[in-house]
Amino acid sequence: TTHKLLLLAGDGIGPEAMAEVKKLIAVMNKTGSVTFETEEALVGGCAYDAHGAAIAEADVARAMAADAVLFGAVGGPKWDGVPYEVRPEAGLLRLRKDMDLFANLRPAICYPALASSSSLKQEVIEGLDILILRELTGGVYFGEPKTITDLGNGQKRAIDTQVYDTFEIERIAGVAFELARTRKNHVTSMEKRNVMKSGVLWNEVVTATHKARYSDVKLDHMLADAGGMQLVRWPKQFDVIVCDNLFGDMLSDVAAMLTGSLGMLPSASLGAPDPKTGKRKALYEPVHGSAPDIAGKGIANPIAMIASFAMCLRYSFEMTAEADRLETAIAAVLEDGLRTGDIMSDGMRQVGTTEMGEAIIAK
């Protein structure tokens, strides 16, 4: 089998982290039964410098044709002044839109080796393994009207509009239940049906989808504000949390802080299955940005990028055993005491990007 990957390393620490994944792919190509065919292209600030756009049209087409896209990070102070339409983030937004990546998966995992050095209560986070599923292409970030009007009396009025159609809720709920079946078989849906019509419809459609196709999965409903509180109080009560774009944005950042560093957090964004092949378009990226403050120093934590590749193996290529091995290798290297600067603690051995990446590959 051959899988086509497009690597978009981007700016700042993006290429440094991606370099470790490239080494891993080279090793897997030599030793495994599956072959990864990789192409590389520019995205973000470096693409703007090269051709005046955050991503070239030809590279959008490459992303559409690839089996999966691995994305590093984009942006940096160098491009703070560039026009809004071609700012580095525009490259990522363009890909999300064209690839119709409506499902954003953000796992929050607390590796046992890091639990004891956390400033949070150890019993709360030790062994934590939850998944926040955020709807990514609808809701209040995109709904129309979206305006600021001058009311003429020294006052202005800002309007954002939350819009969800049945099919949008149905497809994200479907992903939630499918994912739950591969995990602890439990979905918690969060909305605000007490004050929002979109919350009423969300609740209704999730419930109907569950009843029609996924009644084997345990389903709970929680108001999103109460859910935020429960996420901090006792996060281990959850398995898969599914919510809209806005609540998902906030709750996934809250969950992120349960696990330690930004440098540890992977993510996946999935599209709808192709009606002919059943394959989903997919983009995998670390949650962190381009970290200009540490770029070029060889000290960035590559784990978020490597764990994003593990998600790619799991969700795009059904290489579950390989994904498990990679995640186990990450945990084992942490058990051995290796730490990049962002997760360093007393008595551990501080290493750079390359040493961390190669230690994981060696495991």
Between 53 and 187, CB nearer to ligand NAI: 53
Range in contact with ligand NAI (rule: CB under 6 A) among 52-60, 150-158, 291-299, 317-325:
291-299
Range in contact with ligand NAI (rule: CB under 6 A) among 30-38, 74-82, 120-128, 206-214:
74-82
Between 265 and 338, CB nearer to Mg ion: 265
Q: Return d(Cα 288, Cα 14) in angstroms, integer.
A: 9
Q: Which residue is nearest to ligand NAI (CB)?
A: 289
Cβ of residue 21: shortest distance to ligand NAI, in angstroms?
13
Q: Which residue has the tokens 């290798």?
A: 329
Phi then psi dihedrals of residue 74, to 5 deg: -130, 155
55 C-beta neighbours (distance < 10 Å), count = 28
Judged by CB under 6 A, the chain residues 256 through 285 that form the site for ligand NAI are 262-263, 285
Cβ of residue 256: shortest distance to Mg ion, in angstroms?
9
Q: Look at the chain and count its residues.
A: 363
Active site positions, annotated:
141, 192, 225, 249, 253
Q: Number of residues in contact with ligand NAI, rule: CB under 6 A?
A: 21
Binding flag, residue 342, ligand NAI (CB under 6 A): yes
Q: Identity (one letter) of the amino acid at 142?
A: F
- Which residue among 192, 280, 288, 339 contacts ligand NAI (CB under 6 A)? 288
Q: How far is residue 12 from each of residues 15, 82, 223, 283, 305, measured CA to CA in Å?
A: 7, 17, 39, 19, 13
Between 75 and 357, CB nearer to ligand NAI: 75
- Which residue among 143, 228, 292, 352 contacts ligand NAI (CB under 6 A)? 292
Q: Return d(Cα 232, Cα 114) in angstroms, integer.
A: 18
Continuous H helices in the chain: 14-31, 45-51, 57-65, 89-98, 112-115, 122-125, 166-181, 197-213, 224-233, 245-258, 303-316, 320-335, 353-362
Asked whether 69 and 283 are in contact (CB, 8 A), the reply is yes
Judged by CB under 5 A, the chain residues 241 through 260 that form the site for Mg ion are 249
Q: Which two tokens stand for residue 168?
A: 């949008």
The site for Mg ion (CB under 5 A) is made up of 249
The site for ligand NAI (CB under 6 A) is made up of 13, 73-76, 92, 262-263, 285, 288-294, 300-301, 304, 340, 342
**Residues of each annotated binding site for NAD(+):** 76-89, 289-301
